[in-house]
């Protein structure tokens, strides 16, 4: 872990597993100042300024949130570097006070001395202690519940973000396959008309390999989206319908019909079917996924024709 010397602001390397709650002394390699490094639990964050503490699991500086930006650990322990030979008390932390009761009170009052009546408090039946235990248990349960809820929300957000990324890539691959297959079918029909009905043009081996590789990538992305988050469950059905229409155009490019007129008619019909699937796709996907596609269209240019 890299931390900063509180005296000269130089960087210091610290071995994370060696730091305990008791702490250990060290020295700044730059100014030779005596330093003390110790671990504190998340509950002490209220008395520590952000930027002065580091995440115990990964060593990165902690911000104001309840989890580490770098490693994602919820409610992490943190490390504190202070100047001196013992841990520094954080600002705002209470210091314990002691009341000293003198032991030299005379057993008998001197003559004429006023002695106030002493009253003895009745000892309780343990209800006060039970109440403290109950409050402590409830506080612990609340803390655990909040930690669990925070972890669930974080995990859900992470899964939704991962799904959105794969969703964009799969949409791009499907639309790219449709566009390429349509271009190949159009070229085959033009060559067929130019050379006469007796010929039967075919795509090149390189073009066929490109379509095969694209199909393999689509299958891999579909497997990654096999278990979508609940809010995106219906999106897989729309992607499957879009891909099914694109695959029909690809089949025409790989194995054209026996006549040029049949190829032209089948190409037009398949393209119309795909465009209908695109309109339905754009109207039904959630707004956040639509925004992800719009943003990605700057990088994946074929998406621009699909989203216009």
**pLDDT, tens digit, 9 for 90 and up, residues 118-161:** 444 454 556 667 888 888 888 888 888 888 888 877 888 888 89
Beta bridge partners of 247: none
pLDDT at res. 34: 86
Q: Which residue has the higher pLDDT, 217 or 200?
A: 217
3-state secondary structure of 87: coil
Interatomic CA distance for residues 66 and 42, integer angstroms: 9
Token pair, residue 45, equals: 């964050």
Tell me which range, 18-22, 66-70, 255-259, is most confidently predicted by mean pLDDT. Answer: 255-259
3-state secondary structure of 126: coil
Lowest-confidence pick of 50-54, 59-63, 182-186: 50-54
Interatomic CA distance for residues 153 and 155, integer angstroms: 6
3-state secondary structure of 60: coil
Tell me the mean pLDDT in the region 208-220. 94
In this predicted structure, the answer to whether residue 221 has a pLDDT above a threshold of 90 is yes
CB atoms within 10 A of CB 290: 15
In this predicted structure, the answer to whether residue 184 has a pLDDT above a threshold of 90 is yes
Tell me the mean pLDDT in the region 59-81. 78
In this predicted structure, the answer to whether residue 219 has a pLDDT above a threshold of 70 is yes
pLDDT at res. 16: 64
Interatomic CA distance for residues 79 and 20, integer angstroms: 9
Which pLDDT tens digit goes with each residue over 104-117?
434 444 455 444 55
pLDDT at res. 89: 63
In this predicted structure, the answer to whether residue 56 has a pLDDT above a threshold of 70 is yes
Tell me which range, 12-26, 80-94, 134-148, 259-273, is most confidently predicted by mean pLDDT. Answer: 259-273
Kindly indicate the confidence band of residue 91, based on its pLDDT and cuts at 50, 70 and 90. Answer: low
3-state secondary structure of 101: coil
pLDDT at res. 243: 95
Which pLDDT tens digit goes with each residue over 270-297?
999 999 999 999 999 999 999 999 999 9
pLDDT at res. 214: 93
């Amino acid at each position: 872990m890299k931390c900063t010397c509180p005296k000269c602001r130089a960087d210091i390397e610290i071995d994370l597993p060696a730091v305990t709650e008791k702490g250990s002394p060290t020295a700044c390699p730059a100014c030779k100042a005596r330093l003390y490094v110790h671990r504190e639990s998340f509950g002490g964050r209220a008395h520590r300024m952000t930027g002065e503490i580091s995440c115990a699991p990964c060593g990165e500086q902690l911000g104001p949130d309840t989890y580490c930006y770098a490693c994602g650990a919820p409610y992490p322990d943190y490390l504190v570097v202070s100047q001196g030979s013992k841990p520094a008390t954080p600002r705002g932390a209470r210091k314990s006070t002691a009341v000293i009761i003198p032991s030299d009170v005379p057993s008998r009052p001197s003559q004429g001395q006023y002695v106030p009546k002493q009253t003895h408090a009745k000892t309780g039946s343990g209800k006060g202690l039970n109440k403290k235990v109950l409050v402590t248990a409830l506080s612990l349960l609340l803390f655990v519940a909040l930690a669990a809820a925070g972890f669930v929300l974080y995990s859900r957000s992470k899964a939704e973000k991962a799904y959105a990324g794969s969703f964009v890539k799969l949409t791009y691959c499907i639309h790219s396959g449709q566009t390429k297959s349509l271009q190949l079918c159009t070229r085959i029909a033009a060559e067929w008309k130019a050379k006469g009905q007796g010929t039967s043009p075919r795509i090149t081996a390189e073009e066929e390999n490109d379509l095969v590789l694209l199909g393999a990538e689509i299958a891999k992305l579909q497997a990654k989206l096999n278990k979508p988050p609940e809010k995106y469950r219906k999106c897989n059905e729309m992607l499957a319908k879009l891909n099914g229409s694109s695959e029909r155009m690809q089949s025409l490019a790989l194995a054209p019909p026996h006549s040029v007129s049949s190829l032209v008619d089948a190409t037009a019909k398949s393209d119309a079917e795909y465009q209908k699937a695109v309109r339905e796709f754009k109207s039904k996907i959630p707004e956040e996924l639509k925004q992800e596609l719009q943003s990605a269209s700057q990088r994946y240019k074929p998406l621009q024709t699909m989203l216009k």
